[in-house]
Amino acid sequence: MHHKRLDDQHLLTKVMDIKAMGDSVFYTCLLSHLQNHMIHPSKIEHLRSSVYLIHCNNRLFIIKGFDSNQTLNNQKELTQRLKKNGFIHTYSFIEDLPTFEYDGQVFGAIEYIQPSSDRFHFGSEKNRIEGLTVLHTFHNSTGLNLTNNLSHFNQIVKWEERLRIFCKYQPIIGEYVAESILSSWINWAKWALVGMKQHETELMAEKKVIIHGDCAHHNFLRKQDGELALLDFDLIAYAPPFIDYLQYCSRILPYLVDPAKELWFYPEIATYKENKAFLYALTYPTDILREWNRLCKNHLSHHSAQLHRIWKMTIEQFAKRMKFNEEIAGMIESL
Ligand SMILES: Nc1ncnc2c1ncn2[C@@H]1O[C@H](COP(=O)(O)OP(=O)(O)O)[C@@H](O)[C@H]1O
Ligand SMILES: [Mg+2]
């Protein structure tokens, strides 16, 4: 790294520049940490919660906060292994900058991937196909056990809890959504869980891999060279690949015109066409329950923009989603 001495005054000015962005104590720690390692940033951008983009001598890199050293080390080991196994669709951690701790988080440095202006989203069929290919290649490139313990993901436990919380918030949600619609979502959630439990052996039939665990569009990044990258390994766990594909389905569903038919055009998803556990799981309204729970937990029901987005998803998509669920139920029936 280029060496340039910064005096305290300079450091302070920098902190003042970015003070408006939030936690100035954090920025002071971050700057002095970087400075101790001969890095003198010209700009720090706060990208999202614990993710910062550091500009230094026309070079860019990411600083990201992790829950613990173990979480960070797991992700380092995973990305190293992915690279070793020929998986090119992600970043590497930067090993020559030591970690630092702040407010219970451990911050590590990550190579910055230059995004293309052609942003990745699930509205494009090409993206939907390519995302699945990358995910499939990821599952085949992670290898098995990591050095540290990685948790085993249990979809049924997770969704039972999500439903329990949703039911707890029912009186609040009921102020915005008609009782008949609300109970319909709850009944589908219960029905899906019963079916998943009944067919748990099918759910667990595949060999476990390391799943990504968070297949949202913002964890895919279209690179400037046109390749697709996969980011953010905060939710990796041992589980059947089924779990990632299920999540992927729920992310792309809103963009499909006739999802009960179109889903099976994707080869990675067609694998599960006769898997009853998968079919039941498709009818669980995971996004609706998740978003309402998040809104209520953060007392955001008075934030009209977010409320409106979730309300639209709950009401406007209702007919389409009910048709989808009925058709999936029909598929289960005919198996
Ligand atoms: N290495 C990277 N290169 C380029 N952009 C990144 C990188 N890491 C994160 N980002 C950007 O920051 C966002 C948040 O990072 P992410 O690791 O997904 O954090 P979070 O856990 O908060 O979702 C990503 O969606 C992406 O836009
Ligand atoms: Mg993310």
- The domain made up of 8-111 has a fold known as Phosphorylase Kinase; domain 1 (3.30.200)
Q: What is the mean pLDDT of the chain?
A: 91
Confidence bin at 267 (pLDDT 50/70/90): very high
CATH 3.30.200.20 spans which residues of the chain? 8-111
Report the half-sphere exposure of 167 (CA within 13 A, side-chain side): 12
Contacts 24+ apart (CB under 8 A), 149-154: 150/74, 150/210, 150/236, 150/237, 150/238, 151/237, 151/238, 152/208, 152/237, 152/238, 152/239, 153/211, 153/213, 153/237, 153/238, 153/239, 153/243
CB of 218 sitting under 6 A from ligand 1 = yes
The architecture in CATH of the region 125-333 reads: Alpha-Beta Complex (3.90)
Report residue 316's pLDDT band, with 50, 70 and 90 as the boundaries: confident
For residue 265, what are the contacts with CB-CB under 8 A and spacing of at least 6? none
Residue with token string 């690179």: 223
Domain(s) of CATH 3.90.1200.10: residues in the chain: 125-333
Q: Are 86 and 138 in contact (CB under 8 A)?
A: no
- Helix (H), strand (E), coil (C) string for 19-67: HCCCCHHHHHHHHHHHHHCCCCCCEEEEEECCEEEEEECCEEEEEEEEC
Where do we find the tokens 């665990």?
A: 213
Dump pLDDT digits (tens) for 140-173: 999 877 777 899 999 999 999 999 999 999 999 9
Phi-psi region of 143 (alpha: psi -120 to 50; beta: other; left: phi over 0): left
What sign has the CA pseudo-torsion 57, 109, 232, 139? positive
4 token code pair: 């340039």
Q: pLDDT band for position 21 (50/70/90)? A: low
Q: What is the number of other CB atoms lying within 10 angstroms of the CB of residue 263?
A: 21
Instruction: Say how far apart CA 272 and CA 193 lie, in whole Å.
Output: 17
Question: In a mutational test of the pocket of ligand 1, which residue from 67, 91, 217, 231 has the highest number of ligand atoms less than 8 Å from its CB?
Answer: 231
Measured by CA distance, the residue closest to atom 1 of ligand 1 is 112
Angle at 44 between CA 42 and CA 47, to 5 degrees: 150
Supply φ then ψ for residue 223, to 5 degrees. -80, 160
* Cross-strand bridge partners of residue 107: 65, 100
Q: Tell me the pLDDT band of 9, cut-offs 50, 70 and 90.
A: very low
Q: Which two tokens stand for residue 139?
A: 């599952």
Share of the chain above pLDDT 70, in %: 93
Tell me the best of 54, 88, 221, 294 to mutate to test the pocket of ligand 1, counting ligand atoms within 8 Å of each CB and taking the most: 221
Nearest bound ligand to CA 62? 1
pLDDT, one tens digit per residue, over 106-143 is: 999 999 999 999 999 999 999 999 999 999 999 999 98
